[in-house]
Amino acid sequence: MAEINRVTLFGKLNQPTYKAVEGATVFCKLRGNPYVELEHFLAQLLQSQDSDWHRVIKHTQLDMSALAKDLTAALDRLPRGATSISGIAENIADAIERGWVYGTLLYGDSVVRSGYMLVGMLKTKNLRNALVAISRQFEKLKVDDLSDRLVIPIARIIEKRPDGEVLLDKAFMPTCMDVAVPSFTFETIPGLSYAIDLSQPARFDPEGRLVNPKAQRIVGLTRNGQRLDPDERLLLVTNNHRASRAASAPGDRKPVVVLADGALTQTVLANYIRREGVVGAPPQRNWHFLPMPGTSVRVTSGVGAEAHLPDIAAFRPLPLGSDEDGFQHYRLHL
């Protein structure tokens, strides 16, 4: 039986609620808890005075100080000492799913707001019990009253989408790679460095045809720290596989083969190692994305990606779960 994967589910969250999940992940890691729990998520929602939850609690006159005290006690009961996050608790995913159901079918919205999640949780026995286990203040919420009279009027005012804000659906969190373009490898040429400006449109289409002459994604091209002149000629020593790929590169300026001596790659490498005696460390990554504050993308990787997340800490990677094929999905902040 087909299952709803978490990548799709979390992609339905609106921006404030997604930020709460993101904040919960950071909070969980700082506290050394093994799983991102409902308690972490609630702490983020209640911390924001503009969230649906905060406004609902204020308007229903729940005891905020008692709720905060209960939440702190619940957080302190969670196991600690973990050095990494193992995953996100099922009840968070279940709450998002119920929010999706109620938001779509009851309120006709295309995204999941935290207010929809609250209604869905209060209407679902095990999720309501999870809330009450954190604080008995939630027992005071009457779900029918809440859904009909409070959540939507309050939410429409408080979490109103600002002009230009793109929601956390497929448009907000696109995949980093265009599947229509054939796969490729970023070349690592010693001494050559450059940046990629993702705010620019693609210069060429998947067939290699020039479609945006003014677009330029490759910027800051340097060799050994010195900026390259656009008309400068370079001699690249490579194998025939790379050379043949270069010959089919997009655009009209094709590389010219200066010398092809027929030597086998393994022979060249063996002679190099024999002459040098040692082989140096692989070159450092020679390219990077230009920063784009407020922008994020979804990337797909293998099961071993988690071990390398510290290497890309600058992108604040957020695990989104795995798909039906077992690939891991992450959100990266540019």
pTM attached to this predicted model? 0.49
Q: How far is it, in rounded angstroms, from Cα 206 to Cα 182?
A: 7
The predicted pLDDT at position 317 comes to 85
For 19-69, how does the pLDDT look when each residue is reduced to its tens digit (9 = 90+)?
899 999 999 999 999 999 999 999 999 888 777 888 788 777 788 899 999
Residue 144 is predicted with a pLDDT of 67
Residue 252, pLDDT score = 58
pLDDT recorded at residue 153: 39
**Closest Cα partner for 199 from 290, 288, 286?**
290
pLDDT at 160: 35
The predicted pLDDT at position 152 comes to 43
Residue ranges in the chain whose pLDDT is less than 50: 1, 149-174
227: β partners? 222
Q: Do you know the residue count of the chain?
A: 334
Given this model, what pLDDT does residue 154 score?
37
Task: Catalogue all structural domains in the chain, each as residue range(s) with its CATH number.
Answer: 6-172 (1.10.1780.10), 192-289 (no CATH)
Which tokens is 324 given? 């039906």
